[in-house]
Structure 1
Amino acid sequence: MGQDRIWWRGVVAAATVGLVALAVPGPAFAKEGPDLAAVERLVTDFADQGGYPGIAIAITKGDQVVHVGGYGHDSSGAAVTATTPLPAASLSKSFTALAVMQLVEAGKMALDAPVRGYLPDFRIADPRGARITVRQLLNQTSGITDGTLPEKSLPQPDSLAAAVVRARDATLAADPGTRYSYTNTNYHLAARLVEVVAGEPFAQYLRRHVLDPAGMQASATIDLTPRDLPQDVREGHIYAYGASIPLAEPKRFVNGSDGVITTAEDMAQWLIVQNNAGKSANGVPLVSAESIAAMHTSSDPRWTYGMGWDIDQEGRVRHNGVWFTYTASQLLLPSGYGIAVIGNSGIGLGNEGTDQLADGLATLVAGGKPSSGAPIRLIVDLVVAGLTLLSLLLGLRNLRRTQAWATRLVTRPAWRLVLRLLPRLVPLALLVMLPDLLSQVVAAGRDITFVQLGYYSVALVTWTTVAAAMNLGVLGTRTVALVRLRRSTGTTPVPEASAQLAAR
C-alpha cells in the first residue's frame, strides 16, 4: 500500500499541470477559472482515497474551455493526459439521446410514436411492448428492466441488430410510461433505432452527425468489450485491499448505452454543446436549444431522468458512467460551468464512482472549499479482510475440534444433529445468492453476474467464499466423524430425554 502511494505521488508530481491546447480549432481558453493547484490537490486526494491510478478531467464555461488535464498513470505506467483515450461508460447515453433528437428534428421520427413503427423487428414477450414509444426508451420508462431482461447475465450480442433479437425474450415490469427503471437495453434499442431510421451503422452516424460536428475527432463508439476496444485504450483497474489491479473489462455489449471512447479534450467539446444551446464551440448546430432543454428535463414529476441526462437533488443536470474497470461523470451547473471526469478504476464497496470528484470540482469553480472524505474504500476492504481472517480462524478451530465434537454428540438424535449442522450451509447460500442480494441492496435491481461481482469487490467475494468453504469443511468432517464413530462403537441414538442427560 505504501509503495503504491509513493509511486502514485511520484507520477502525479511528474504529470503536466496546466492548460492543454485543443486538438481542433475552437474558442480560446477562458481567462478566468479555478486555481489549478487547488484542482490538482482535489484530484490527487480523491485518487488516493478512491484507488484511482489515473484521472482525466474537463471543465468548461459556456462556449469556452476552462481546463482539461490528466493526472496519474494508466495500467501501462504511461501518464494520463487530456488526450488519453478513455471509456465514457454510460455518459454515452447522452450521445445516443442527441442522435435520436436529431432525427426527431429532421422529421424522421416522433418521440411519442411507437418504436415498432420505425423498427419492425422490435418484438418482446409481452403484448404491451407494442405501446413502447421512442421517448419511453430515452426516459428509461419502457417497462423493460434488468429484472425482466438481465442484459449482463444473458449471452452478449455482437451488434445492435442482435441486441434487438435478444430483447424478444423481455417482459415488462410495468405498463410503458408508468415507472422509471434504468437499464442499458433501452439504449441498445434506441441506438438500433438510429441505425434503421438513418440507414447507416450507428457508429458511422455518430461520427458524421455528432462527434465530428462537435469537434470530437478523437472519440468513437464500440460494440463489445474488450474485443472492440482500440489498442491505445489501456486496461482499467479493480481494487482490492489497497491495491489497484489492472484487468480487462469483462465481455459486455455496450453500443448505444456505454460504448463511447473519448478524451478529456473531446469531453470539453461535448460539455460546450450542452451549455451552448446545442451548438459546438465553432458555432456548428447539432440540435436546437429546445431539444437540449428537453433532454435535460424530466417529462414527468414521478422521476428525475430526462433523455440521457438526470437531475440531481440540487436541480443540476448530470449523468454518471460505470464500467467494471472505469468510471465517469458529467455535470452541468446553472452557472454555465460543465464538468467531466473519467477515472481508470471501477466502482466497489466504499467507492461509488467519480460523482464525488465532480461535485468537489463544482464547489471549487463556485469559489467554495470542497470537503475531503476519509479513505472509505480501503477501510471497507480492511474490515472485510478482518472478517475473512476471522472466518478462516474459526473454521480451522472447528476443524481441529471435530473428533471431540462428534464424541460429545454421537448419542444425540439424528434430527437434532441435522439442525445443529444445517446452519453451516448459510454461508454457501449467501455466496450463491450474492449477485442477487447485491443487485437489490446496492444496485437498485441492476443485473450483475458472479464474475462481475468479483470485479466489484474482491474482498467481499473472498470473504463469502472462505466462509462457505470453511463451513462446508466443518459440515463434511463432522458428518463423517459422526458416521465413523457410530459404526466403530456400535452407538445408536438414545431417546431425546436420555440424550439431554448425557449431554450434561
Structure 2
Amino acid sequence: MKADIEHWASCLAALAADSEVPGASLAFWHDGEVYECATGVLNTTTGAPVGTDSLFQIGSVTKVWTATQLMLLAEQGRVTLDTPVAEILPEFRVSDPRATAAITLRHLLTHTSGIDGDLFLDTGRGDDCLRRYVEACADLEQTFPVGDSHSYCNSGFVIAGRIIEQLTGTVWDQALREQICEPLGLTHTWTLPEDVLRFGAAVGHDERGALVPRWGLPRSVGPAGLICARAADVVAFGRAHLTPGALLADPAFLRQAQVELPNPHCGGRQWGIGWSLDEWDGHQVVSHTGDTIGQHAVLWALPEHGTVIAALINGGRSVEFQHRLATELLRELHAIDVPAPIA
C-alpha cells in the first residue's frame, strides 16, 4: 500500500510544533518507493525554510558508515575483524600495554574495547588530524578489560577511521566518498563545512529553540560523527544494508548480534557491527541515532519489511519527537506498536 505523503507532511509539521522542533526532514522507503517531506526552518534567526534537499548533521549515525567502510575492506581481504589495531597503526597505543596489544577492529566496531570513549579533541583541520588524534589516545584509561562489556566509544570509531586511511592511502573523508557516496550516487552527503555550505544546511538549537553558539564538531572526530546529509541519502544508505551487493556482499552480517547490552532498555538489546539491534512488537529493528551540537538524527531499518526511515532534527525536544514519529509511522505502515520509553 502506497503512503500518503501529504498526510505525513502534515503529521511531521504537527509533531514538530508539539515538541518545539524548529525544523525537521523525513524520508522513508516503503513498498518500493521513497517518500520525502520537511517542515520548519533551518535557522530560527534567518527563517530559511527546511527543504527535502537540506543537509542536517547526522552525528553518530556516521558510525554505521565508518563500520561499512571497514567491512568493505574486510570483504576485499585487506583486513579481518580480528586483526589487532596495533598491527595496522604503528602510532596506536593506550595507557594499558595489554589493551594496546589486544584491541581488534571488532572491539572498535562493537564498542567493546573498554577504552575511554569521550576524547573530543580538536587536532586541527589538516589531513593529519586523525593520525594526531590517535597519537593523543596514548593516555586513555580502560573502563573495563578488553572485550568484557559494552560501553559506547566515540574514540574507537576515530581510531577505526584512521585504520581506513592507512589501508586506503587517502584521508577518511575522501575514502567515504569513494567507498560509499559515489557507488550509491549520494549527491547530498558531505563532511567538511566548505562542502556543506554549498547546500541549505541546518544549524542547531537547544531544547527551547534558541540558536546554539557553535555549528559543528572538529574534523578530528569525523569518523565518529561528522557526516551531513539529506534524509533521502541516509535512507539510500540504509537500503544498501538490506540489499546484498548494493555495497556489501553480505550486509546481513552487520546485523548479527556481537554483544548483549548491559542496559537493554535504552536504545537496543544487542550490538552488531556498527548497528544497534532491537525488537519492537516481534519485529527486528536495526538502528542508530546521532547527536551533535543542537542537532539529532535517527536511522531505522526493518529487514523483515524492507522499510527504512530517516529523521533529521535541528533542536527542540528531539528525542520525544523521534519516538512519536516512529510510533505514528510504524503503526500505520506495518501495524507495529513501538515500545514506550521507560519513565
1:17-39 CA distances to partner (integer Å, 9 max, x unpaired)? xxxxxxxxxxxxxxx42222331
Q: Which residue number corresponds to residue 43 of structure 1? A: 12
Task: State the one-letter code of the partner of 1:66.
Answer: V
The within-5 A match list for 1:279-318 is 279=246, 286-289=247-250, 292-301=251-260, 304-314=270-280, 315-318=284-287
2:226 to 246, 259, 265: 259
Separation in 2 of the partners of 1:113 and 1:186?
15
Q: Residue 71 of structure 1 contacts residue 81 of structure 1 at CA under 8 Å; is this kept in 2?
A: yes
Question: Equivalent residue for 1:484?
Answer: none
Deviation at 1:198, TM superposition (A): 1.1
Distance 1:193 1:266 in 2: 25
Contact residue 110 and residue 259 of structure 2 kept, 8 A: no
Instruction: Specify the structure having the higher radius of gyration (Cα).
Output: 1
Question: Which of 49, 57, 78 is equivalent to 1:79?
Answer: 49
The residue matched to 2:39 in structure 1 has which SS?
strand
Greater strand percent: which structure? 2
Q: For 2:146 and 2:317, locate their aligned partners in 1 and report how far apart those are by CA, in whole Å.
A: 31
Structure 1 residues 134, 372: CA separation in 2 closer, same or farther (over 3 Å shift)? closer
Q: CA RMSD in A?
A: 2.7
Q: What is the deviation of 1:177?
A: 1.3
Could you tell me whether the CA contact under 8 Å between 1:296 and 1:317 is conserved in 2? yes
Deviation at 1:83, TM superposition (A): 0.8
Deviation track 1:209-228 (CA, whole Å, cap 9, x = no partner) reads 11110111221224xxx798
The residue number in structure 1 matching 2:267 is: none
> What letter corresponds to residue 320 of structure 1 in structure 2?
T
State the alpha-carbon separation in 1 of the partners of residues 340 and 254 from structure 2: 32
Q: Is the 8 A contact 2:113 2:146 kept in 1?
A: yes
Q: In the TM superposition, what is the alpha-carbon distance from 1:58 to its structure 2 partner?
A: 1.1
Residue 123 and residue 50 in structure 1: after superposition, are their counterparts in 2 closer, same or farther (change >3 A)?
Answer: same
Number of matched residues?
322
Q: Could you say which residue in structure 2 is the equivalent of 1:176?
A: 146
Summarize the alignment of residues 5-404 of structure 1 with structure 2, pairs less than 5 Å apart. Answer: 32-61=1-30, 64-75=32-43, 76-127=46-97, 128-146=99-117, 150-152=118-120, 155-158=121-124, 159-222=129-192, 230=197, 232=199, 233-240=201-208, 243-245=209-211, 247-249=213-215, 251-252=217-218, 253-279=220-246, 286-289=247-250, 292-301=251-260, 304-314=270-280, 315-333=284-302, 334-345=304-315, 351=319, 354-367=322-335
SS of residue paired to 1:364: helix
- Give 1:271 deviation, angstroms: 2.2
Q: Deviations over 1:219-277 (max 9, x none)?
A: 1224xxx798636424221133xx44354336544300111111123123212212222
Where in structure 2 are the equivalents of 1:482-501 lying within 5 Å?
none
Instruction: Tell me the TM-score normalized by structure 1.
Output: 0.59
In structure 2, C-alpha distance between the alignment counterparts of 1:263 and 1:71, rounded to whole Å: 13
TM-score computed with the length of structure 2 as normaliser: 0.85
* TM-aligned CA deviation for residue 317 of structure 1: 0.6
1:86-134 CA distance string (max 9 Å, x none): 1111110110010000100111111011111111111111112210000
Answer whether contact 1:188 1:256 (CA < 8 A) is retained: yes
SS in 2 for 1:324: coil
Is there any run of 5+ residues in structure 2 with no aligned partner, and where?
Answer: 263-269
Corresponding residue for residue 482 of structure 1: none
**Alpha-carbon distance in 2 for matches of 1:372, 1:340:** 19
Task: Give the letter for the 1:74 counterpart.
Answer: L
Contact kept, 8 Å, 1:118 with 1:193, in 2: the verdict is: yes
Give the Cα–Cα distance (whole angstroms) in 2 for the partners of residues 164 and 79 of structure 1.
39
- Structure 2 CA distance for aligned equivalents of residues 250 and 82 of structure 1: 21
The aligned residue for residue 468 of structure 1 is none
Q: Is the 8 A contact 1:327 1:354 kept in 2?
A: no
The answer as to whether partners of 1:57 and 1:340 remain within 8 angstroms in 2 is yes
8 Å Cα contact 1:329/1:358 also seen in 2: no
Letter aligned with residue 12 of structure 2: V
> Any gaps of 5 or more consecutive residues in structure 1?
1-31, 280-285, 374-441, 443-504
